[in-house]
Amino acid sequence: MRKRTAAARRLGQQSQSTVSAALARLRLALGDELFLRARYGVEPTEKALQIAPDVAAGLARLEQAFRAAEPFDPARSTRRFRLLLGPYAEVVLAPPLAAAFARHAPVAKLEIAPIGPDLDPRSLAGQSFDLALGRFHPPPEDDGFRCIVAPRALGGNATLDRSLYERLPHVVVAPPGNWRTGLHRLTADTGLRRNTSIIISHFLMAPPTVARIGGIATVPARIAGMVAEPYGLLDRPVPLNLGTFPTEVAWHPHNRSDAPNIRLRDLL
């Protein structure tokens, strides 16, 4: 009885008797009890457990259809948006996204989760998310590279030349996935050497480590612009052109025409 009453509340404050009558019709149509009395309410039968995934999928499609028919008002939306972000995208995008949500969608929820090494469409297929940001292959071009350097490492040098770059102790940022091999390949292809002092796994650990050891790190240009000044570091160009690296956005096909998802993509 308690379970049916709780279900009635979830179904838009329907009365318990209305839910019981609907359940009776379902039992007749499906030829199964569906729910049996138990110590703390009711329990689903084997038949109910078997059809539950299909029922849930059907309800999700109905919800999507109704959402698509309704105008989307960001200011009133209480929707939870779930983003899967790689390390670079998280550092660069989380603060401005949070500010944009506070300004334009104050009662909506923003959840950020790690994407893992790379954007693999096969691994994303079974996950529940609105957008994923990371790296696909083959990639487009996006951000470039800069160096963050401890001032004492430059000494009296006004510029960072190749010889000095290769002598300084390097903090190497190597997250898992394509980034780890990507920058290594770019430096190898140009013949640019790095005197590796320590290897770390996240961009945010680079500036305090560079400051502590009086060294250098090669990071995305946007990261360098964010962290150099707060840590008393210099933002300098890489002695050789290493090109650019990509960040791409992915979403599930069922979100292609979803108005809130479209608005979120436009915001990004």
Q: Tens digits of per-residue pLDDT, 68-122?
A: 666 788 888 888 999 988 888 888 888 999 999 999 999 999 999 887 655 555 5
Task: Please name the residues in contact with 216: beta carbons below 8 A apart, sequence gap of 6 or more.
Answer: 147, 148, 149, 150, 153, 160, 165, 168, 169, 170, 171, 210
Task: Please name the residues in contact with 205: beta carbons below 8 A apart, sequence gap of 6 or more.
Answer: 171, 173
pTM of the model as a whole: 0.60
The pair of three-digit structure tokens given for residue 169, joined into one six-digit string: 């102790």
Give the residue ranges of DSSP H helices in 105-177: 121-124, 151-154, 162-167
43 vs 139, residue with greater confidence? 43
What pLDDT was estimated at residue 215? 95
Evaluate whether 78 touches 109 at the Cβ level (below 8 Å): yes
Evaluate whether 215 touches 208 at the Cβ level (below 8 Å): no
203 vs 248, residue with greater confidence? 203
Domains for the chain: give ranges and CATH numbers. Answer: 2-69 (1.10.10.10), 80-139+247-267 (3.40.190.10), 145-237 (3.40.190.10)
What pLDDT was estimated at residue 239? 92
Q: By mean pLDDT, which of 47-61, 115-129, 148-162, 202-216 is the weakest?
A: 115-129
Mean per-residue pLDDT over the chain, rounded? 82
Length of the chain: 268
- Tokens 């008797």 correspond to what residue? 17
Whole-number Å distance between alpha carbons of 248 and 268: 11
Give 138's pLDDT tier (boundaries 50, 70, 90): very low
What pLDDT was estimated at residue 103? 93
pLDDT at residue 6 tops 60? no
Phi, psi of 8 (to 5 degrees): -60, -40
The pair of three-digit structure tokens given for residue 259, joined into one six-digit string: 């108005």
Average pLDDT on 54-79 reads 77
What pLDDT was estimated at residue 184? 79
7 vs 254, residue with greater confidence? 254
Identify the burial level of 133 via C-beta atoms within 10 angstroms of its C-beta, where 0-12 means exposed, 13-18 middle and 19 or more buried: buried
DSSP state of 72: P
Give 139's pLDDT tier (boundaries 50, 70, 90): very low
